[in-house]
Structure 1
């Protein structure tokens, strides 16, 4: 609580000095103040531009409007600090704690923010364009309207962050966590997502059309009726996601996982979903005409009334699938496994089922006009009896 107001401390050795609750208003500070504790100190309007403040404790400090241009604030604790309108141009903030800070109107152009913690901080409208934000923690941060154009967000944690109307044009998000984040009306032109976790996010107000979204997680995400045309979702996981009525025409779903996803009424013509997994998914009335689905798995999927005309289903797994009333006109089903599938009233006209496994296929009312069935394997009666066998209960 020392009163050092107006003191001339220039040239003093103050590394690791403790100024808890001290009055430093008007004091002339030295260029280097590493590891100094300024917790609850009264700073007034100090000259801090270009100062070496690495490791300094500035918890709760009032730094609003101050010029911190080029200052070294790496490894600092600025938790709860007021940095509204502060100039941090070219400042070093690596691995600093800036949680619960108000950075509204702060100038962060050229600032180094690698590894810093900005959890719950206010960054509305802040310019972070082109910044390297590797390993930055932004949990529950308010980034509404922030400019993240061409920013690099590698291994960032953005869980619960508010990114409504943020500009992410040409930004790269890699190995980032966006669980529960709000991305309403965010601008995503040419944005690249790689191994990003969108689990549980409502993305209906986001435009993903035409984006590269590799190996991302959309577990239980809400994508209902979204336009996802021409996206590259290679290796992404949509398990239990809501994709009802979504438009995925022309998108790439190679090796994507859509386990138990809801795709009822979805539009997927011309998709490339080679080796994709649709096990247990619901695709009632989905449009999959001309889709590349070779090696795809539809085990126990619901394809009732789905349109798979001219689709490539070679070597696909459709065992135990329900495809009643589905259209397989001119589809390629060579070597496909349709054992135990229900295809009542389905249309296989002109389809190629050469070498397909049709064991225990329930095809009452199905149409096979002009279909190729060379080498197709019909029901194996002995196998069917064995499958239906129930061993007797052991005596009590």
Structure 2
């Protein structure tokens, strides 16, 4: 039984936009410590079609509320009680719902693109309706799982969230962060889960029949008794090495020889080639000088690469998702079709490398997939970005000419670019 159906049997408090605005205003005053504030208590209210866009409603109470077709774009609802709410078809794009209680909630058809639902609870929930005359809870609705069928969760942060038994058939989780997420017994039939990070997630007993998990990360994931009939798992990254396992190579000596080759300008040492190698076993190559390294199609996933020097390197098609490349020097690197989703490139140099007087070699990131990347204060001057996708990335203080984004997919960018 949905909350909408329940509304037909019981009298919910219907609120106007003006009344809701007053409640939100008092709540925001409370959050700021301004006199006259009061916690928003919106339990058992009918808020259908109303707007709370951009409102700060941390720790508010929405228990059992009807919130169908609401505008919650960019709203902050951290820690709020959304137990068994009906939030179908609502827009929560870019909203923050960290550690919210969404047990038994209905999110069917909602737009949750880019929402932050870190440690949210979307497990089953039982519902009981209050009697306004007696004040007694007298009629129970049978326990139900949270529902997110057809919901748009592209780029959402669901890390460590509890989604046990959730009904999310045909939902779109593309690029979602679902690390250590509990999806046991979840119904994910025909869901789109391309490039989803499920590292350490629990998918035991989950049904992903007919779903698409192309390029998904399943490192350390529990998949006991899950159902994968007709599931597209092309390019899935697991604990199994991809290509040449680095542990099978004398990588220590190879790196030393490469560093010597760089420091002596080629007079000594030997350049290393790690094309199509799985480098995850290195754990950290922090501060290494690996200029002109060849690692085409190599897997760097999750490596600590802070301050690394990779000027002029050949990294076409490399998998550098979730790598920490803060302060890295990638000037002049060739990185066409690179995958860097979720990487940290704060303060990194991704511009042009001077190779002679008045002659520069720009970093080439053409057709790269770099969604949700931290480009804070990164130098991207003269970088080639044609065909790249940097959607939902943080560009605060990044040095970049706006013209360089002409042929770039850049939906939902955050931060102010420093041209």
TM-score for both structures, normalised by structure 1: 0.49
From the two aligned structures, give the one with the greater helix fraction: 2
Q: Which has the larger radius of gyration?
A: 1
From the two aligned structures, give the one with the greater strand fraction: 2
